[in-house]
Copies of this chain bind each other. A is one copy, B any other.
Amino acid sequence: MHIQHSDIKEFSRFYRANLINCLTGAKPAVLIGSANKEGKTNLALFSNIIHIGADPAMLGYLQRPIGESGDTFRNIMETGCYTFNLVTPEIVEQAHFTSAKFSTSVSEFEACKLTPEFVPGFTAPFVTECRVKIGLTCVEVIPVKLNNTTLVIGSIDHILLPDSILKNDGNIIPEAAGLVSAVGLEQYCSLSTICTMSYAKPDNLPQF
């Protein structure tokens, strides 16, 4: 099938949203935890997550235009801090339903039966049920004017994870970490390692 630019415009809204959201393939499934100044917690599922750099260590997410929803972004602007929590297979259903449009007065932690957890001196909630939990301080907010979205970049303050999922070289074991990928807007997948590759150099190419 060959779909062209003009075809995409003609698709129904839901067909287009499904197809285009699938084109980035295996996306991370991440719960972003935040709280307002009064300590009211919020939790929301994001898959538009991107590695920004390792040194300094920074991660980004793309914030949709702020409308009725947008508690995550408002909390980050209020307090400066938030958490990334990698979804595991056991909590896929709860994680998915954090994306329902609850009113601001409802915490998705309570509505979706997930447990907030705190680190001293850091006001944003982590998710107890997750194995990889990251605490971030917002360091830059970059507008994407083309569609009124915002790239929110955070510096990594805290990494919480079980020793058992970490290799000696700093790599996380995908199965032990229970990594989950979101494909499109409604499909969730578990991961199985195919292979681990050596550092690629022109003079060590394998026989393809």
Contact = CB atoms under 8 A, between A and B. Distances in A.
Interface of A: 1-5, 8, 11, 13-30, 47-60, 62, 84, 86, 89, 92-94, 96-102, 106, 111-113, 119, 132, 134, 139-140, 142, 144-147, 149, 151, 153, 155-163, 166-167, 169-172, 174, 177, 179-181, 183-184, 186-202, 204-206, 208
B170 A16 contact: yes
B23 A84 contact: yes
Contact of A94 (B8, B15, B191, B208): B208
12 contacts: A3-B161, A16-B170, A17-B55, A23-B59, A48-B52, A146-B153, A179-B181, A179-B189, A181-B191, A183-B191, A186-B197, A187-B196
A194 to B, nearest CB: 5
A125 B171 CA distance: 33
A146 B140 CA distance: 8
A179 B145 CA distance: 30
Nearest to A139: B146
Contacts of A24: 28, 30, 49-51, 59
A189 B206 contact: no
Contact of A190 (B47, B159, B192, B202): B192
Contacts of A193: 183, 187-189
Given A20-B156, A23-B134, 5 more contacts: A19-B170, A24-B59, A171-B184, A186-B196, A190-B194
A52 B146 contact: yes
Quickly give the copy total for this chain: 2
A53 B149 contact: yes
A196 to B, nearest CB: 5
A203 to B, nearest CB: 8
A20 B166 CA distance: 12
A158 B4 CA distance: 5
Given A1-B161, A144-B52, A208-B94, A25 B186 contact: no
